Structures are given as C-alpha cells and as structure tokens.
Amino acid sequence: MPTLREWVIELVVMVAVGVTLAALGPFGSFAIGSFGARLAYWIPAALIGYAIFRPTTLAAFAIARRLDLSELGAAVVGVLVAAVPGSFAIAYFGGYRPGAEPSFDQLFQLYVQVGVIGVLVMTFFILMGRGRSTPAPLADAIPVTPVPTTPIPAAPVPTAPFLDRLPGAWADQLVALEMEDHYVRAHGLDTSALILLRMRDAEAELAGIDGLRVHRSWWVARSAIEKVLRDGRSYKLRLTNGLEPPVARDRIAVLKAAGWIS
C-alpha cells in the first residue's frame, strides 16, 4: 500500500497528467474550446479516473500476490475492470444524463480511451515506484509496533548487503521478508521494518544467507523454520516468531530438493 507521501505525489502527477492532456487535446477534446476550458475538463477527469483506477489496481495486485498469480496479468485485468466504471463516470462528467445516454459505439470508444490513458498512467506509477526502490538507505527502514512474542535465540546470520539496511539491534535475527507493494517487510524475532526495495533485489542482496524464496511474496531464512505444516497438497512454514508464510506450489520441488520439506 502506498504511503501518504506517495499518495500526494501521485495526486500531483495526476494533475500534471490533466494539464498535459488539456494541452494536447487528445480524443477530440480540442472541440471543448479554449485551453482553460480543456483544463476544467481534463484535470477533474484525471482525478476521477485516479480515484477509480488506483484502488482497483491495488486490489488486483493484492489478490495476485495472495493467489501467487502474475502481477502483470493482474494489472491488465485491473485496468480492464476499472475502465468500465471509469467510462461511465467520465461520460457523466462529460454531460451525459439519464434520457440522453451515449450510444454503444460512443461508450465503447470512450472505454478504449479511458483504458489507454489508464494503462499509460498505471505503467508510469509502476516505473516510478521501481525508480524509488533503489538504492534504499538505512533511513528508509520504518520501525513498526513490535509484535509480542517470546524471544527465541537465533544463530548469527552471515554478512550480506541487505543486513546493512536493518536496525543494528536485530540485524542478526532476520527471520523472513514479506513483499508489500513496492516494499519488503523484514521480520525479526519480535519486530519488523519496512524497506523501500523490490523483493528480487532484496533476495539478491541476501545471496550469502541460507534462505530461499518460498512464495512470490515471501523469503524465509532456513534457521527460522520451526515446523513444516501440511494440509493436503498445500504447505506452510511455521517460523520462530509465529509467522506462517505459505509455500507456493511451484516452489515445493525446490524446497524438497533443498531438504526443507519431505
């Protein structure tokens, strides 16, 4: 989930998108009139679209991570779904009212236009998020409220670049990483920290640690595994801090080969 600062940045970007569209006058919007009239149309239209598209695509990403699906596919589905209410909202904003509904051809053309703009803006947000993800200094680690657990001593973890991003008080007690949008949450024994970094970059920085990516959204240190839980064909790993990350089906063979599960 984006932070408050990111929400503000994205809203400013959407205003800039509205100004750009007003200047370019795409999709026949030059017919609206002067630049000021186009601004009065495009800026609110961009903000209305953002209010519909952003929550929908965030929900699609969250569902994809939970079901271990492709985030690219989730993004496409999210845009296609959001473009439906987005088209009706923009149609209403453009002056259509009950009794004067647009024809199917007009509505379909508007759907394509809204979808194209949604794809471009969403792609920009994804690239902007990735650009902010590297490098992430130690100051980006955001301490959160500790999760009450019974402290369990952990063996020292070998040196790895990722550990330099963690608070020194528990850098040798790394248990797992959990992906949260453009961040990873590093879990210790009784606390966690949010790091602005992509999971695959964090995984690369932990190459010297005895751990594995067990799911699209989870990396686990081997020393932190307390018990392997199995329910039919599904597996979970109970960790020393009480977390139970799932094991993706396409990772089961890898964990069996590594001797993590039998």
Most confident of 134-143, 153-162, 214-223: 214-223
| Spatial contact of 50 and 10, defined as CB atoms under 8 Å apart | yes
What residue ranges define each of the domains in the chain, with the CATH number in brackets?
A: 4-132 (no CATH), 138-257 (2.40.50.1020)
State the pLDDT confidence band at 101, using cuts at 50, 70 and 90. low
What pTM value is reported for the model? 0.46
CB 188 within 8 A of CB 229: no
| Long-range contacts from 231-238, C-beta under 8 angstroms, 24+ separation | 235/261
Instruction: Give the model confidence (pLDDT) of 167-221 as tens digits.
Output: 776 656 889 999 988 889 999 888 888 888 899 999 999 988 899 999 999 999 9
Number of C-beta neighbours around residue 152 at 10 A: 15
* Nearest C-alpha neighbor of 15 from the set 40, 34, 35: 40
pLDDT in tens, 54-100: 888 788 777 877 776 776 777 788 888 888 888 787 777 766 645 55
Please tell me which of 72-76, 111-115, 149-153, 184-188 the model is most confident about, judged by mean pLDDT: 184-188
pLDDT band at 140; cut points 50, 70, 90: very low
Would you call 3 exposed, middle or buried from its count of C-beta atoms within 10 A (0-12, 13-18, 19+)?
middle
pLDDT in tens, 208-250: 889 999 999 999 999 999 999 998 888 999 999 999 999 999 9
> Which DSSP state fits 100?
S
Cα-based torsion angle of the residue sequence 106, 109, 114, 116 in order, rounded to the nearest 10 degrees: -170
Is pLDDT of 139 > 50? Answer: no
